[in-house]
Amino acid sequence: MAIIKSRKCLAGAHVAHHKNTTEKETKQLPLSKKVTIPLLQHMGAPCEPLVKKGDHVCTGQKIGDNSAFFSVPVHASCSGVVEDIVSFTNIVGATCKAVVLAVDEEQQQAPVSRPVIETREQFLDAVRESGLVGLGGAGFPAHVKFGYRDIDKVDTLVVNAAECEPYITADYRTCIEARQDIVDGVRAICKFLNLSRVFIGIEDNKAFAMEVLDEAFSPEDHVTVVSLPSVYPQGAEKSIIYATTGITVPRGKLPADCGVIVSNVSSVAHLGRYLKTGMPLIEKRITVDGDAVSDPQNLMVRIGTPVRDILTYCHVSEDDCGKVLMGGPMMGSALADIDAPIVKNNNAVTCFLEKSSLLPKTTACIRCSKCIGVCPMRLMPAKLEKAYDKRDAEQLERLCVDLCINCGCCSFVCPAKRHLAQKNQLAKAFLKELKSKEDKKA
Amino acid sequence: MSKWTVSPSPHMLSSNSTSNIMFDVIVALFPALLVGIYVFGPRALIVTLVCVAACMLSEFVIRKLMKRDNTLGDFSAIVTGILLAFNLPPQIPLWVAALGSVFAIVVVKQLFGGIGQNFANPAITARIFLFVSFSTYMTTWTVPFGYQHMADAVASATPLVDIASANTLDLFLGNVSGCIGEVSAAALLLGGIYLSIRRVINPLVPLTFIGTVFVFTWVLGENPVNHIFAGGLMLGAIFMATDYSTTPATLRGKLIFAFGCGVITTLIRVFGSYPEGVSFAILLMNLITPLIDRCTQTKPFGAGGKQHV
Ligand code: SF4
Ligand code: SF4
């Protein structure tokens, strides 16, 4: 067992850490009176409601599912009565149904029990039933990732505990507070997917988490804790694979194609706990911070809790606050409505004061190449922007805009304050639209 | 309308800004300016002020005429003004200095779209323009500290003409005749170190330029130490070959650029009919920068081919 230093890693930006909540033990947020549980909290097909208006549901009861493979069931995060089933638009603009629960006093738990697993199929079923999606990113269904067609060629698990976003410490607290769950989760994944080595990537500003995890595993687990430089975005999937294993995931390929599966540390912890208790994903550890939060916290929050309740609990004054983010400042999405519910892949609520919410004026590119220097994907954002402004599809392809992971480093460093990362997102949408038009013609 | 600001990520930006960068360049030019004033007297300061004022005024007026926003706040016109003054002999008539400034800003910079768009370095191009148009004024040198003995405008050849016999320490400290900002290698190096620490420039670029001149002049049997301390090499390598607009984008490209500058400078100095080659070298390399850029693009991660930055 050892903690090793990563020898080579991809570029990034030196972003202020603001990890104010590392020592803040997770507190349980009191239950809200009402929760709104969207039936699409994953990449893939939205779930159909399994309950109807007026039904009583128990904590942990399945309330939405879809027989499609690319879908993940949704569970009631509290017990209560289904007040309504409404249509809901999520943060990326997709629409689905959402179950609105009036939370009751009794808080009855559904009769859950420890799943019995002997085979890989049963394991994958259990992963699906646990409601697990990629908790660190876009909510990719975990059973799909683990059920990769050539899983026998995969031998490496990379546990992503880098937590490179400023402010957020939820994963760090998971490492400290749920270390046994992480160990159990890692062991189960390795056992059923037959993986032989494990790397846990953690940024070097979290030395204690490295020690804790290093001690928690035994030598038979073949776990190596890898210390990553605290340069944002070391937690990006391709970055952490490169930094821990040295493997370059080629353009257009999945990590699994290269023999690697990456899982966020919170996902692993949830899985470990589920296999012991049978309680599906109903709550998330969330960091509440930002310059508008005077008392930053780590909170355990039930899925579906309105962000407004979290702000109230943390005494965030709505008058001073100008911007509320789902997630951290580098990749989080700004909320237009603070009644939006917490979903599975949220790990933070970041609030900024009015004065820090406004973006500075954009000026002319001075060709300083800072954007090129920080891009982890080695793209040329300044050039990409020009290509997009000209709607030059060929040039965008040639410059590999598809590789952009929207990490925001380029926009962050740009002295001219150009919206480079956003332009790349627009460029990707533009290429997609172009392609679908061509497909229609053909 | 909701009260919440909704904008795309990232929501946190660095403190970098164009004006901060230009301000750093101005700070880095200060030691050389002080030495220039010390060696050549108040006249050096007056020429510098005239250039800066003319640059700012012409930038303001031309942007107005072209109906574009006012860009004086990015300080880049001030940088151009100081750099041009540094490239002029202290006894230059003030109207010539002003004319050079207007040329630099209007013709070289703004007609091509302003900051970041010009392909040639404004100060260098203006220097060459003045050199070609007013070669007498541009080659009338002042003896160092002449102003203290009321002996202004005494012609004295620049050390480049007779490089073998020049005193290395004088070259290093600035006790020589020459252009206002070129005389002290030490002061320019100080500025270069500051810019490197502030990450405004990559020190490998001037090092490559200077190193190339050193090696090639040595190979050709010249005095390499005097060569690197004399003339406009330090000024050109530290402040002009690192200009963002007119040099390649990637580090590989920048190093090729610097190497090319070094080779051309040496060739002109040793074999050419002009004693100084730095300005021509940089301008020539400016012209082929688009070509270098095309050949030195980054290889995106995992997109095949060899990986380098
Ligand atoms: S171009 Fe994309 S991947 Fe590169 S720094 Fe910008 S957002 Fe990140
Ligand atoms: S960081 Fe901004 S100013 Fe610098 S080259 Fe990139 S786009 Fe241009």
Q: In 3D, which of A136, A122, A126, A64 has the Cα closest to residue A96?
A: A64
Measured in angstroms, the CA of A38 and the nearest CA of chain B are apart by 22
Cα gap B106→A367, rounded to integer Å: 20
User: Residue A232 gets which letter from DSSP?
Assistant: B
- Cβ of A398 closer than 6 Å to ligand 2, yes or no, is no
Whole-model pTM: value is: 0.92
DSSP A104-172: -SS-PBP---PPP--SHHHHHHHHHHTT-B-TTTT--BHHHHHT-TTGGG--EEEEE----SSS--HHH
Q: Do B12 and A332 touch (CB under 8 A)?
A: no
CB–CB of B10 and A331 under 8 A?
A: yes
Asked if B301 lies within 8 A of A403 by C-beta distance, the reply is yes
Q: The tokens 């380098």 sit on which residue?
A: B308
- Candidate of A405, A418, A422 to mutate for ligand 1, largest count of ligand atoms within 8 Å of Cβ: A405
Interface contact flag, B300 A400, Cβ < 8 Å: yes
Tens-level pLDDT at each residue, chain A (442 residues)? 678 898 889 999 999 999 999 999 999 999 999 999 999 999 889 999 999 999 999 999 999 999 898 999 999 999 999 999 999 998 888 899 999 999 998 898 898 889 999 999 999 999 999 999 988 777 899 999 999 888 889 999 999 999 999 999 999 999 999 999 999 999 999 999 999 999 999 999 999 999 999 999 998 899 999 999 999 999 999 999 999 999 999 999 999 999 999 999 999 999 999 999 999 999 999 999 999 999 999 999 999 999 999 999 999 988 889 999 999 999 999 999 999 999 999 999 999 998 888 888 999 999 999 999 999 999 999 999 999 999 999 999 999 999 999 999 999 999 999 999 999 999 999 999 998 888 888 7
Q: How many angstroms separate the first and last alpha carbons of chain A?
A: 57
Candidates B90, B169, B88; CA nearest to B129 is: B88
Q: CA-CA distances (angstroms) from residue B94 to A96, B18, B53, B98, B101? A: 73, 30, 12, 6, 11
CA-to-CA separations, A326 to A345, A437, B253, in angstroms, rounded: 10, 33, 40
Asked if the C-beta of B10 comes within 8 angstroms of chain A's C-beta atoms, the answer is yes
Nearest C-alpha to atom 5 of ligand 1 is from which residue? A375
- Residues of chain B with confidence (pLDDT) below 50: 1, 152-153, 306-309
Query: What pLDDT score was predicted for residue A417?
Result: 95
For the stretch B132-151, pLDDT in tens is 899 888 877 777 877 776 55
Largest pairwise CA distance in chain B = 76
| Residue B251 with chain A: CB contacts under 8 Å | 373
Q: What is the DSSP letter of A333?
A: E
Asked whether the CA dihedral A333, A338, A344, A347 is positive or negative, the reply is: positive
User: How close is the Cα of A433 to the center of ligand 2, in Å?
Assistant: 27
- Contact at CB, A325 and B11, closer than 8 angstroms: yes
CB A375 near ligand 1, within 6 Å: yes
pLDDT at residue number B309: 39
Query: How far from chain centre, in Å, is Cα B58?
Result: 20
CATH of A3-23+114-277 among 3.30.1360.120, 3.40.50.11540, 3.40.50.720, 3.20.20.10: 3.40.50.11540
Contact B126, B104 (CB under 8 A): yes
**Within chain A, which residue ranges are assigned CATH 3.40.50.11540?**
3-23+114-277
Nearest to A234 by CA among A1, A17, A2, A53: A17
Q: By the 8 A CB rule, do A47 and A73 touch? A: yes
User: A389 CA distance to ligand 2 centroid (A)?
Assistant: 15
pLDDT given for residue A320 in this prediction: 86
CA distance A203 to A200: 10
Cα of first residue to Cα of last residue in chain B, in angstroms, is 45
Instruction: Please name the helix (run of DSSP H) or strand (run of DSSP E) that holds residue A286, with its range, or none.
Output: strand A283-289
